[in-house]
Chain A
Amino acid sequence: MKKKAFVALVSAMICTVSVFGMTGCKGSNSNEVEFFSSKSENAQIMKKLVDQFNKEHAKEGVKVVLNTPADAGTVLKTRLTKNDIPDIIAYGGDQTYTELESAGVLKDLSQESYMNSVSDQYMQMVYDVQKDREKTAYAVPYATNASGVIYNVDKFKELGLKIPKTWDEFEEVIRRIEDAGGQPFEYAFKDDWTLLPPWNSMAPDLAPETFYDERLAGKTTFESTHKEIADKYLELLKHGQKDIMGTGYDDANKAFANGDAYMLINGNWAISEIKKNNPDIHLDMFALPASNDESKNYVTSGVDVLLCASAKTKHPKIVKEFLEFMMKPENNQKYIDDQFAFSPINGVEQKDETVASAQKDIEKGKVANFPDHYYPSGYDLASILSEYAMNYSTGMKDEENTKEFLKNLDTQYDAVNNK
């Protein structure tokens, strides 16, 4: 009999534990405002800003809590499936934002005081990724990034190299580095997203301006317009280290920080990672000159972080105050300085020398958005590029490889564009 009682007790315990376990997962504190941030790189500075805000608003009894999960895009989309939308969201200006915005869950921020101080160019980029390019501010750009060529200033000086302004000059730089026995680029293609920055830096310079809309409507193809980009992409692959497919992002940054290579094609977000490995390294960044027409060589710059808010939040007042706090120029400056990022707020400037050359172009407005922000969200460009690079490294003939790659770009595009 005792044994039976014991079994009953255990089952009862399991039952209660599982019930409490379930409620425990879900129960969010009603005095907390969730600030969902997609980037792990900026978690520290975001935490500082949040703490400062909480200190200043201690009286109100409501706390902003920062949440930066790994693989944030997936987490956010999964939460959208449950209609569980964070109060405040910091996200990139990409297709996930499009999906978020088109679900109709975001608050209209048009009337907020800080809207006047935001650069039109970056505001336009937010509109561009909204559904039907709707011109309503459901989000405000907070920080912008730039993709281009990060170079080792000291090593460039050693060879007396200057920043190339055209494709021919760029090739000349590569040639001179190789003549001196150096390695021009360090690639990190084991992490397939690193294949995107070179593409993103070249495509806006060389693709026809109306390409995105026409491709979406099926009026043009990659095959007929992107041959030059594909050729130049392949050309750049030929000047990396030996194991371009087997090196990961962290290892490549380490190798570059140690002076193994002269250049790294990536974005300003990589700078802090490189500096972690070698704090004394002198870096600068320039726009990848894909065209021989200097006026077309844009800095690829997009909205790296935008802020938006749930329309259904329980604490609209705190959310409003928090966004106003974040958008103050002095707070934005703190973020920009910490992240080597650029600011969409007029008057806030990135003064760090590591991105000086890119900042100059951005100030002049010589900026193009990331092309992959305009591709359909199912389009896995990174893995198509990865196949291209893989075929190159296994020795496929260039001509055949490029042909297959261009065709692949179109078939994959059509596969995800069948709405």
Chain B
Amino acid sequence: MKAKHWKVNPVYYIGVGIMAILFFTFHTVPFLKGVFYSFTDWKGFGDWNFVGLKNYGVVFSNKDILSAYFFTFKFALVSTILVNIVSLFLACGLSANVRFKSFLRGVYFLPYMLGMLIVGFVFNFIFGNLIPELGRAVKSDALSTNILGSSHAFWAIVFVTIWAGCAFDTLIYMAGLQAIDKEIYEAAALDGAIGWKRFIRVTFPLLAPSFTINMVLSVKSYLMVYDQIMAMTGGGPGKSTTSIAVMIYKQGLGHGQFAVQTANAVVLFIVVVVISVFQLRVLEKREEKVG
């Protein structure tokens, strides 16, 4: 048999090899090209010259780019915390012996099936048309204006993000909850840990692996927030909801600042990597302690 000559069946090499090639050509190569062009004054087409670190200088001195970073960090922090709190509650609720459990699980998972862009457009309509109509019907001044055109647009976007983002996190937490041995709960009950205390002292620490995954993935995806903002506000009003990704797209492709925004994208990449690695380190240490 062939297996004698190969330690591992070659099929696996073929499978991995194809993926590696695809990944390299469509991800790594464009990425390296992007890094390269961030040191040039390329407009996206035509001729270019090397300009050294000039683009990075612009990124760190441009007021709008810095405020986009501020917005994005604030957004990522708030959304990550809220999404995880809500998901944890939902997961606990859906793991308990409630009625219609499987139906409810399906309902809470639905937002994940919809594209973020679609969710954004639906809420755009709700905030822009349905809620103001309701507001006029009940003669409420606050409700009859579109929140997306106000200085509270940030919170509207956070709300939609939570609505759509909880599904995945809840799923991970539910899986984590199912992995906890029932005997541990029994032992905890004998020691007097029930209700809230049980959650804090027993359940939550044992959820550590799920918590790590959720924290890292949420922070990563919320730092790169794009779809829901494009669908709902396009970065407005003013520039108040312009995230880094939105800015890279709008300024880089729409306003001819290709090189500067490529540099910005590289900076964003580094920021995401650093934060993710830091999180993993800290949270894995915590896991070890718990385990």
- Interface set of A (CB-CB < 8 Å, partner B): 4, 7-8, 11, 14-15, 18, 73-74, 77-78, 80-81, 83, 95, 99, 102-104, 189-192, 242-248, 251, 377-380, 383, 386-387, 389-391, 393-394, 411-412, 415-416, 418
Q: Which of A11, A103, A248, A390 contacts B11 (CB 8 A)?
A: A11
Q: Is the CB of A14 within 8 A of B18?
A: yes
CB distance from B230 to the nearest CB of A (A): 10
Q: Which of B46, B239, B251 contacts A378 (CB 8 A)?
A: B251
Q: Is the CB of B44 within 8 A of A383?
A: no
Nearest to A416 among chain B residues (CB) is: B257
The size of the chain B interface, using a CB distance under 8 A, is 41
Also in contact, A390 and B240, with CB within 8 A (given A15-B18, A190-B149, A243-B146): yes
Complex-state Cα separation, A244 to B45, whole angstroms: 38
Could you pull out 16 A-B pairs where Cβ atoms are within 8 angstroms? A4-B11, A11-B18, A77-B256, A80-B44, A243-B132, A243-B144, A243-B149, A246-B149, A383-B235, A383-B238, A383-B242, A387-B237, A387-B238, A390-B236, A394-B151, A416-B257
Also in contact, A73 and B148, with CB within 8 A (given A78-B44, A386-B236, A411-B63): no
Q: Is the CB of A102 within 8 A of B11?
A: no
Complex-state Cα separation, A288 to B255, whole angstroms: 28
Q: Is the CB of B14 within 8 A of A11?
A: yes
Nearest to B242 among chain A residues (CB) is: A383
Q: Which residues of B contact A391 (CB under 8 A)?
A: 238
B150: CB under 8 A from chain A?
A: yes
Q: Is the CB of B22 within 8 A of A192?
A: no
Nearest to B145 among chain A residues (CB) is: A243
B195: CB under 8 A from chain A?
A: no
Nearest to B237 among chain A residues (CB) is: A390
Complex-state Cα separation, A13 to B132, whole angstroms: 52
Question: Which 8 residue pairs are nearest across A and B when measured between Cβ atoms?
Answer: A246-B146, A246-B149, A387-B238, A245-B149, A80-B45, A377-B256, A243-B145, A390-B237
Q: Which residues of A contact B64 (CB under 8 A)?
A: 412, 415
Q: Is the CB of A78 within 8 A of B149?
A: no
Nearest to A79 among chain B residues (CB) is: B45
Q: Which of A103, A192, A248 contacts B45 (CB 8 A)?
A: A103
Nearest to A14 among chain B residues (CB) is: B18
Dominant secondary structure at the A interface: helix
CB distance from B54 to the nearest CB of A (A): 9
Q: Is the CB of B237 within 8 A of A386?
A: yes
Complex-state Cα separation, A390 to B238, whole angstroms: 6
B234: CB under 8 A from chain A?
A: yes
Complex-state Cα separation, A167 to B251, whole angstroms: 35
Complex-state Cα separation, A246 to B156, whole angstroms: 13
Q: Which residues of A contact B150 (CB under 8 A)?
A: 245-246, 393-394
CB distance from A237 to the nearest CB of B (A): 13
B62: CB under 8 A from chain A?
A: yes
Q: Which residues of B contact A242 (CB under 8 A)?
A: 144-145
CB distance from A387 to the nearest CB of B (A): 3
Complex-state Cα separation, A102 to B256, whole angstroms: 13
Complex-state Cα separation, A337 to B151, whole angstroms: 42
**Residue among A77, A251, A383, A389 facing the most chain B CB atoms (10 A cut-off):** A383
CB distance from B143 to the nearest CB of A (A): 11
Complex-state Cα separation, A311 to B235, whole angstroms: 37
Q: Which residues of B contact A243 (CB under 8 A)?
A: 132, 144-146, 149
B9: CB under 8 A from chain A?
A: yes
Q: Is the CB of A77 within 8 A of B45?
A: yes
Also in contact, A245 and B11, with CB within 8 A (given A74-B253, A377-B256): no
CB distance from A390 to the nearest CB of B (A): 4
Known pairs A77-B45, A99-B45, A245-B149 / 12 extra A-B pairs, C-beta < 8 Å:
A11-B18, A80-B45, A191-B234, A192-B234, A243-B149, A246-B146, A379-B255, A383-B238, A383-B242, A390-B151, A391-B238, A393-B150
Nearest to B240 among chain A residues (CB) is: A390
Complex-state Cα separation, A387 to B235, whole angstroms: 11
B128: CB under 8 A from chain A?
A: yes
Q: Which residues of A contact B237 (CB under 8 A)?
A: 189-190, 192, 245, 386-387, 389-390
Q: Is the CB of B256 within 8 A of A378?
A: yes
B147: CB under 8 A from chain A?
A: yes
CB distance from B210 to the nearest CB of A (A): 31
Q: Is the CB of A8 within 8 A of B14?
A: yes
CB distance from B209 to the nearest CB of A (A): 30
Q: Is the CB of A383 within 8 A of B145?
A: no
Nearest to B146 among chain A residues (CB) is: A246
Nearest to A7 among chain B residues (CB) is: B11
Complex-state Cα separation, A104 to B239, whole angstroms: 34
CB distance from A83 to the nearest CB of B (A): 7
Complex-state Cα separation, A81 to B256, whole angstroms: 12
CB distance from B60 to the nearest CB of A (A): 13
CB distance from A129 to the nearest CB of B (A): 14
Q: Which residues of A contact B46 (CB under 8 A)?
A: 80, 102-104
Complex-state Cα separation, A7 to B253, whole angstroms: 42
Complex-state Cα separation, A80 to B18, whole angstroms: 30
Also in contact, A380 and B255, with CB within 8 A (given A81-B45, A246-B128): yes
Q: Which residues of B contact A389 (CB under 8 A)?
A: 237
Q: Which of B144, B146, B255 contacts A190 (CB 8 A)?
A: B146
